[in-house]
Copies of this chain bind each other. A is one copy, B any other.
Amino acid sequence: MKSNCINSQWIGKAKCHVCEVRQLVLFSGLESQKLDGILQQIDNMHLQSGGVLYHHDSTASHLFTIRSGFIKLAQQLPNGSQRIVRLLKVGDVLGLEALLGDSYHHTATALRDVDFCRIPVEVVQQLDREDPVLHQQLFKRWQRSVDQADQIITEFSTGSAEVRVARLLLHMACEGEKDGQMLLGREDMGEILGITTETASRVIADFKRRGLVREEKGLCSWCDLDRLCALSDT
């Protein structure tokens, strides 16, 4: 077990130059020789569904980049419940606030088994000073966080429950892996969409009856993108 990652499993040192998501991840713009120097500081790790990468308010010492799987960022509400504020997938970076010396602003939890790289904040800070390419990459990642938050507001917190669920399914279908997109648990759906677990369940069950989606052990084996799309901008 490593600090910061609770119950995560260490896989090995990062191999960014042969990484299949090279085009997506943080160091995609760096030249190979520059890259080699820093690889030994980056850990390639695995965490199973439900595992926590970091907790809200804990000291932010690393940035993370997702190699496979999904991660949710959640914040605690004053009344005790929690709200999911971001849904992250392959190529996304989390923990940028570490660069400012802040504590983490969210609790990051794996929605299914994830592979990710864990990068010490000092490594990124140093590269940021030296390399204008990474520098610009960081701007892009930050902007991406903003855009994703805006999406949660406009798509997932606006409109009827039915419409929100339809948008979420479309989102997962587009962003998801090719073979059978994952279907979120009803509770997670509720916390993303600002509705109750029961309502999420009712809508999904209704969609299944209407033949809009088919579910096979937690996976969405098929869904009618056209009709969902039509629903989503009502």
By a beta-carbon cutoff of 8 Å, the part of chain A in contact with chain B is 75, 77-79, 83, 85, 96-97, 99-100, 102, 105-106, 128-129, 132, 135-136, 138-140, 142-143, 145-147, 149-150, 152-154, 157-159, 194, 232-234
Contact = CB atoms under 8 A, between A and B. Distances in A.
Count of identical protomers in the assembly: 2
A153 B77 CA distance: 11
6 contacts: A77-B233, A100-B143, A105-B150, A146-B146, A149-B152, A153-B157
Given A78-B232, A79-B233, A97 B154 contact: no
Contacts of A75: 150, 154
Contact of A234 (B79, B100, B146): B79
Contacts of A154: 75, 77, 83, 85
A143 B142 contact: yes
Given A83-B153, A85-B154, A142-B142, 10 more contacts: A77-B154, A77-B159, A77-B233, A96-B146, A100-B136, A102-B143, A128-B135, A142-B146, A146-B149, A153-B153
B105 A139 contact: no
Nearest to A102: B143
A129 B136 CA distance: 10
Given A78-B232, A105-B147, A132-B129, A99 B153 contact: no
B99 A158 contact: no
Contact of A100 (B79, B96, B102, B140): B140
Contacts of A138: 139
A164 B43 CA distance: 42
Contacts of A150: 75, 85, 105-106, 149
Nearest to A167: B78
A79 B152 CA distance: 16
A233 B78 CA distance: 5
